[in-house]
Structure 1
């Protein structure tokens, strides 16, 4: 499928999935046993709980070292009933995530900025994009980033059978293992649409479900300054930020990262990688 057709199809799905998307303003939805949508509480973008405002600092907090791809998968991944929305831990820690790539036009710019500031991020990749950009997966591995599974073709999983969901997940994990060197330990459902089958099959494949706390809504191309403002106003300990490095014109996302990343660091934030809480 040509990329132009892919982008058109995704925008159509976005319109049809409006009730389950935009977690930064409406929340992440989980499908109940009877098919009804149940919203998981997510702080509204721009006003997270216990937000710590950005303040100039007299020092640059040195990025944490020793972060890299997980060395070994846990013996058994728990089956959760809702996705993880934020990270727990001490201090000012945040997680940056990028969905839908890798894209040869935009992903390298994001990787360049992360490398400049010695920061690690998490990339939730789609199999149909990753299969033709294995070199970018290898670079992510070399530079210590985490690569997660975002399905093969970015469908609305709640409309698929268990067999179709497994195929979307497992094919993508195969491609990630080939290019990245390890099977993914993290999974993110497209459009933030989860149900019991998604949680169960993800766990069977050794993956934890990670959603987000703050949605930059960069896919709407609101302007570089708007994206920067959303991230900075939402900065708080444990926040997981959602951005995109593919699926359309992501030049604003690339420029926005260059704007907010050094300011987060100057304000004393650690930009770290996700970790699994105790089951």
Structure 2
């Protein structure tokens, strides 16, 4: 397998024996100490589907169990392998997702637009793009949006490739996004073109990323014109829908213009904004 597995930390407990310190004084104890001798992996990289047995710790004086020291690392996030198509909040809400970025021109403009309308979105990033524009990834996170892994090469035929290839595409991209963001959570994995497989969903979920689909696809990636994109988006939108748009992958002027008109339309229809189910 391509991804490097990081070992789980082991806990070594030692007990110090009681000794006599002076004539006529009571016997003293040296309390048991616990040492964490393993290196912590970044959350999401060392998740396993197998159960892990926690070693039994040494008992403190009087047989009372001694608590392990706080490591400061976050516990791995457990997620479903099922593809998410709807919002966490449900009801009259939508979740906006933006694919193929970050892009040096269209991502900043899209972020400015989202800030203007007080909308939070999910950015599905191509690994090398994240690596190339880490300052944009950090801005996405700083402004309260969520990150999504969208593979290394955007291979829409990866569902016909080997499991090892799928794993490389998913986990190498995640590693690039992790580095670019400074370790922010990557909540989702979206297969290019929706080319999910049971294995790719298992791999993503095993690393803390919920497979992410969509309900609304206005076809902006085909560049049919802003009017057509907007019409399709309005016709397809319903309660709880995950909406697919693009801020990367080339000239996204039509996508941006359609989105600029779509956001106030959504608010005028009474929609609120949330994130996809994670």
| Shift in CA distance, 154/90, structure 1 to aligned 2, threshold 3 Å | closer
Matched, 1:134 2:137: no
- What is the alpha-carbon distance in structure 1 between the residues aligned to residue 76 and residue 240 of structure 2? 22
Which position in structure 2 is the counterpart of 1:145? Answer: 145
Which position in structure 1 is the counterpart of 2:221? Answer: 219
Q: Secondary structure at the match of 1:153?
A: coil
Please identify the structure whose Cα radius of gyration is greater: 2
Which position in structure 2 is the counterpart of 1:175? Answer: 176
Q: Secondary structure at the match of 1:228?
A: helix
- What is the alpha-carbon distance in structure 1 between the residues aligned to residue 266 and residue 76 of structure 2? 32
- What is the alpha-carbon distance in structure 2 between the residues aligned to residue 237 and residue 74 of structure 1? 31
- What is the alpha-carbon distance in structure 1 between the residues aligned to residue 185 and residue 88 of structure 2? 24
Structure 1: runs of 5+ lacking an equivalent: 1-71
What does the per-residue CA deviation read over 1:121-178, in whole Å, with 9 as the maximum and x for residues that have no partner? Answer: 1110100111101111010011000110000111122122222211111111112222
- What is the alpha-carbon distance in structure 1 between the residues aligned to residue 75 and residue 120 of structure 2? 19
| Shift in CA distance, 120/88, structure 1 to aligned 2, threshold 3 Å | closer
- What is the alpha-carbon distance in structure 2 between the residues aligned to residue 214 and residue 200 of structure 1? 24
Which position in structure 1 is the counterpart of 2:167? Answer: 166
Asked whether the 8 Å contact 1:187–1:202 carries over to 2, the reply is yes
TM-superposed deviation, 1:196: 1.3
Q: Secondary structure at the match of 1:232?
A: helix
Structure 2: runs of 5+ lacking an equivalent: 1-73
Q: 2:270 aligns with which of 268, 271, 274?
A: 268
- What is the alpha-carbon distance in structure 2 between the residues aligned to residue 75 and residue 123 of structure 1? 19
- What is the alpha-carbon distance in structure 1 between the residues aligned to residue 205 and residue 277 of structure 2? 15
Asked whether the 8 Å contact 1:157–1:198 carries over to 2, the reply is no
Which position in structure 2 is the counterpart of 1:258? Answer: 260
Asked whether the 8 Å contact 2:89–2:274 carries over to 1, the reply is no
Query: How many pairs were matched up?
Result: 203
Which position in structure 2 is the counterpart of 1:237? Answer: 239
- What is the alpha-carbon distance in structure 2 between the residues aligned to residue 261 and residue 212 of structure 1? 17
| Shift in CA distance, 208/73, structure 1 to aligned 2, threshold 3 Å | farther
Please, what is the CA RMSD of the aligned residues? 1.6
- What is the alpha-carbon distance in structure 2 between the residues aligned to residue 191 and residue 273 of structure 1? 20
TM-score, normalised on structure 2? 0.69
TM-superposed deviation, 1:73: 6.8
Q: Secondary structure at the match of 2:132?
A: coil
Asked whether the 8 Å contact 2:217–2:245 carries over to 1, the reply is yes
Q: Secondary structure at the match of 1:152?
A: coil
Which position in structure 2 is the counterpart of 1:60? Answer: none
Q: Secondary structure at the match of 1:229?
A: helix
